Amino acid sequence: MNIALFGFMGVGKTEVGRLVAERLGLAFVDLDDVVIDRAGKSIAEIFEEDGEPRFRELERIAAEEVSARNGQVVACGGGTVLNSENLKKLRNSSVMILLTADPETILRRVEGDSNSRPLLNVSDRLERIGSLLSVRHRSYLEAADVAIDTSHRTPEEVVEDILLRLKEVTRLYEGRDSQKRN
C-alpha cells in the first residue's frame, strides 16, 4: 500500500510527503520529478515546448509506473487525479490524502515560483488560483479518503494529522482489499 498526497500546487504535497515518508520509513516519490527525469527537461519547458497534453501523457505514464510499486509516499501533481485513469491506478494502490489551502495561502507559498508554475503565468495569479480551485474542488473531494487543510499549519503539524488519520483510514482499506478478493 502507498500513501498518495494530492491537491493544488502550493498546499505542501512535496514537503509534507518527504516528512511522512521519513517518519514511516518509506520511499518518497514526487511524480513531477519522475516526469522531469523522463522528459529530460523542466515542467515549464515541457509546457512551453511540447504543450500541456504532452505533460499530461508523461504524468499518466509516471502515475502508472509509481502505482505498480508499494511502500511509498507519492506526491502527485496538482492535476494528476483529474485524469480518471491516473485516479483509478492511484486509488487501487494508495490511501488518497487531499491537502488543501485557501487561495491566499497558496499564492503566498508559490509567489516566487512563477517560472516553474506554467498554469500561473497570468497577470492576476490569485484570480487564476481561485478559478482553478473551483473547477477542481469537487474532483479533489471525490478522490479523497482524507482531506486536510494546510493553510495555517506547519508541515510538522500536517504530518502529525496525517499519521493520526492513517490509522482510521487503514481500516477502510482493509475492507476494500477483502471486497476485491470476493
* 140-163 confidence digits (pLDDT tens): 999 999 999 999 999 999 999 999
Q: Label residue 122 by pLDDT band (50, 70, 90).
A: confident
Question: d(Cα 27, Cα 72) in Å, to the nearest integer?
Answer: 5
Check: CATH 3.40.50.300 for 2-170?
yes
What is the predicted pLDDT for the residue at 111?
A: 81
Distance, in Å, from the CA atom of 156 to the CA atom of 55, rounded to the nearest integer, reads: 31
**Which tens digit of pLDDT belongs to each residue from 57-84?**
999 999 999 999 999 999 998 889 999 9
> What is residue 176's predicted lDDT score, i.e. its pLDDT?
53
Helix (H) or strand (E) holding 69: none
Task: Indicate the angle between helix axes 31-39 and 52-67, nearest 10 degrees.
Answer: 120
Selected residue with higher pLDDT from 96 and 121: 96
Q: For the chain, which residues make up each domain, given as ranges? A: 2-170
Q: What is the pTM of this model?
A: 0.86
d(CA 144, CA 152): 20
